[in-house]
Structure 1
Amino acid sequence: MQKSAARPRSLLAGLARFVPALLAFAAALAATDWLVPILLLVGDALMLTALCASIGFDMEESFVRSIARRGLAALLVLVLFAVFIAALLLLPTWWLLREPSLGGALALSAALLIGVLSMWRIWAVFALPLLWDDAWPEVARGFWLTTALRRSLAFARHLAGEHELFFSHGLPSALAVLALCVSALAPGVFGATLSSDNRLGLILMHGLLVAPLASLALATRCANALYAEARRQRSLRQRESLAQATDAEEVSPPVPPLLEGQADPDATLLAAARSAQIDMALQALQLGANPDTAPHERDRDQRSVLVHAATLPDLRLLRALIAKGVDVNRSHAGLPPLIAATRDSFQGRPDAVMTLLANGANPGALDAAGNTALHHAALCGEPVVAALLVDAGVPLDAVNREGLTALGNACANGNWTLAGYLLEHGA
């Protein structure tokens, strides 16, 4: 009951945002000719502010504050462009009204085209003050309004330069802004030659049709451009992180000569394996560390060096331990290396499992709970590890201490992909 009661209040609050715009359009009905364009442009800015707030970009403490800050910035941009359009269309319009001809029509068309093309790189500036919060820094240099407009203009040029969006986003936005300005200027320019009914019709068409549709097109296209920029930035960050990780793997940093003369290379090997310092662990092996090094019984972490190596994404240490003759079936604290490589990973560690199996690891080894590696592989997202174990001869129907087989473990955890695979292979 509370939710259903809250929805009408939220809907009414959303509709109330459009009241100031409608009042400005209504005032234009009774205004003199020179005042009509001003009131219509004010209504356009209020309509755009209300629409942006309604679609989720209400970033001020109150809608009144949104009007006072963001709406004022949008109004200033619209007024400046309307003045530019008025100057651009003045002579072609006067020529066409004075002497209707093909030349006048072509001149007017060329002026309109210039008006559209003038927004090629800056079309987003008309909505950015309402949609882009970074246009309003906490500490502004100079007057806050000019700072917001300057930042919005720079970011609009950035959006147009980084994304090929003019024909999909910029052109509809430019036409929407042009429609707003031209239809706002028309009643004032032609007011003396229009009948009262025609004048009333132009104002109503602007307020009820042109302004809502043009504002919607402008807000949605600019919002989509912002989302495209956010996706681009996220993709760049991911590529940079991947490149850094790849460089870290391919270009190993020089190993500092810290181990020369150390009394206990085994302890260094174990500490390096625990902290994933592969190069230091490899140097410890070169200095004679025992590849079968196990932790002290009082250590909290009871995983051996081999177990750590089997769980690291970098397999250089695992290969080096095997080359040094490590016992790949040596279990410590009830945890065989093959079990460690198969558990605690949703994607599985197929490379480590394949390396261990290829070097003699027992696929039927059990952990302290009686699980085989297949019990843990039955929880992976894909059957890659399970396939390796099945090919190696793991017992399909081994039962752990809870009375579950690998198939039972997959079913108990709702992993139907692995359950289907195990059934297909005779479980």
Structure 2
Amino acid sequence: MGKITTRSPFAPDSLPALPPIAGVRFATAEAGIRYKDRTDLMVAVLDEGTSVAGVFTQSKTASAPVLACRKHLKKGSARLLVVNSGNANAFTGKKGREAVDITVDAAAKAADCGRHDVFVASTGVIGEPLDAEKFAHLLDGLTKAAVPDAFEAGARAIMTTDTYPKVATRTALIGDVEVTINGFCKGAGMIAPDMATMLAFIFTDAHIAPKALQALLDAHVETTFNAMTVDGDTSTSDTCLLFATGDASARGQEPVTKADSKKLKAFSAALHDLMADLAIQVAKDGEGLSKFVTFVVEGAESEKAARRIAMSCANSPILKTAIAGEDPNWGRVVMAVGKSGEAADRDKLSIWFGEHCVAREGERAAEYDEATVAAYMKNREIVIRIDAGVGRASSHVWTCDLTHDYVSINADYRS
């Protein structure tokens, strides 16, 4: 699935160690869904009483697993998560719904829980029927064999064109009780999240009611997962699920029922930080990338307008290819700002590449030096800052450049 010859230049030499979280266990298997000699099936077993929150793709061609998760989320409880890679089970009609039903029924039986307590996700090729019989019979054994210290194994099992697993961990105090938050996600291409990111799963032992958990997730999505893009294409399968097992109550944590509770201030900050970490990791593993790019927009009419301008830049192929070629072509930034549809004052527009001002108040900056800025463009991490000149609002977007390798990977994706 895509001929990837090299790892991302941002791939870490080692992954952070994710400590076990009370109330969640993992198991993986090689089900042969599409890949050979690698795990492609992951099960997360959750203690009874686990709360769940979720955000999903807004694609009008959402996958069968996304539709099932939306339905099950209404109950706010979870016991089992089943994820497969290699096949997205999207645009598969009746067969796709049947595959979900087979998976959910087998999982509910394995965990001895209701169907609404089972959440499913699939990632991979769109349009090919998923044969759930290939792995449904494995779910009982996996549920029994699941162990707490297998977050990395879970992250590896859900990868497709990713070149490394993306994991993160944080701790926070709720009252005087320390709780842990662990998360992992996958994604490298077809990345332009719309209320979620590709596949992201976050777990905590905190005792937080479903409605409060959902409010926290909703509050942080916009400035984390939705502030990241690789290629401007929103997947049919984008899913982000946040699970709270509640096991910290055994250590004295009082249950929290409202998202605006002062008790959740530190937890909320840690959750946001973890989600931002995962979003940046996705952008740093964009298919074929050579550079990680941050667009910062200031002087906009509103935060939403600033985000749209930043996204217009981050999703511009002609601008992203210039960055790949280490060309400080700030004219392409001007183009991307102009086509965003948001207000910008042409005669007040200013642009910086790193610390170097290249355009000031509607024209090339007097101090602009091509050689100096071209030297800056050789850095692996690039920051481009824009002042739209019409207000005081700001926002940011993380992305990567667009290289020949991106084309090769996606041209060969189904080969």
Shared fold (TM-score, shorter chain, > 0.5): no
Higher relative contact order (CA 8 A, sep 6+): 2
Say which structure is richer in strand: 2
Q: TM-score with structure 2 length normalisation?
A: 0.20
Rg larger in structure: 1
Say which structure is richer in helix: 1
